[in-house]
Structure 1
């Protein structure tokens, strides 16, 4: 039987005519489709937490990443102390700020490698040993930490004779103790006594096994370089690969059962914790629509990505944790990204996760951290 297919699209409705001999059947199919996600890959991760009133997403995301790494290698889910890494990083930031005589950013921000640097030097502690919360506090609030630290550090740098904090190292430690408490030298975990270094050994985390991948055109590919972004106070190295390889690397890692720590820009209106999606619509008039309905997205080229980075439309706003892959009803894939803004809010949807389209990822990602074994075919070290 001969069949002819005609398609006429107008407004938001597609009309399909099926001509079969002397009978015409008209079927109306709406072109507006609400997202319907199904899981492709879902790797074990700890519960979503809230970073509270802090700029410490870098520690929450990387600690979550380490928790998944420990689970991958041991089958044990350990709740890592984010604030142990934060406290140690503040000491490193203070040293860096003093040695550069205040001519560098000093803030709550950081990057994934700052956690790894702290782990390498100071070990790890579990949350039950050190939470960084004092008294009856249940939410982290670091609003006063940086101002208090800067007051001491700036006075030292200016050689202020009237300053009562001539020993800035002691003063910094005292300020951190006031706001975050002091970690115990030893602690019990599951009935065994550890210190931070022996606990690290127990987890089998080796910081040198991790690499930070990025993709920019101002440096040669397959080489390491220091990315000049404000939060890279510790001059961490990034391994540069072509953009298509960066996406392939994430996909390969996830397929092998590895998660990734993600540094990206979330300032776009189409990054929505409320709706739990991050989309890059091709039509700017579809910004609001894209939070609920499938839209056509931008084709992101390496050149466009570079341009957006150099004009500061893409900055290192926020770090999160890629733990899986989902797809919509059309087969389009999105990364499942664990956020650190909690779950108990009218502004937080999708149980604290964000489904990030690959278009958004390609344009707005600064870098990802992953175990070297997951991407061994992409790196030439």
Structure 2
């Protein structure tokens, strides 16, 4: 299994650098001059607040759930603590969000005899003009059955949907390549460290590596088990996947300060699945599909910035005959930020960030 995982990771980086390849030359001096000219041209289309540090408060509302499809029955699970409130910062090409508080919601929807629930998420975004990296980690313990009367036969069911001590973990790395870096900025839409002067668009390649882990435990009640596919009663598993998702990014500018952007992508998902069922364990390699879309809207002022962004990430894992998991990782992020000058103690680090960006992009072009 370790060798297979190493193969997947190697394939992941190979595809990333292959698909985001740039016309190479044997003379690095020519490349450096070309890059410098690109950045000079870019100043006519994109405004960068490179001397500012933005501190923001954010609230994340998870739209995600786990949809289990079976012949004649679909079970949809929602997290009990789908709301995160936290702090973050952005500077130049980097933004980091860390959840601090996760209120417990939906108490009226489930049998509250259990008290264990957890929700945590960490998000880091790094966007240079040509390249981007998204890093997401989320963990959730405690689910309730959504759309209770719509999906299943509720005969012999309790008045309230039972509590499920299902635990999920998901770690995702997305590598992005922008093909119109002069006029288009992912940073402007998703981070807010830049601002486009005019509406623009770009073809984008998103190469993604994901690890998803499910632990179902024994909390599924009998009246639901009786309606499930008896050959695919899923108890837990780990799913590794590599996806290549071509897409197109659009950003529209209104009244100079307001923006609306969307970055949809769709493509194949190459998966390795380690699955445990009620009576057996299976390891399989499969090909499925994945849909990912990001969108953002908001405004920029001299000191204040505010916006809302949406992430939709849906990947299908096939379990057995007519039985699948649709791992929906949707979230809505609302944030308000205030821009300050970089403090004296941080100016050295700020300069190193610029140097790091230049070395990174020049290294890729010389690769």
Q: What is the TM-score when the length of structure 1 is the normalising length?
A: 0.21
Question: Which structure's relative contact order is higher, taking Cα pairs within 8 Å and 6+ residues apart?
Answer: 1
Give 1 or 2 for the bigger CA radius of gyration.
1
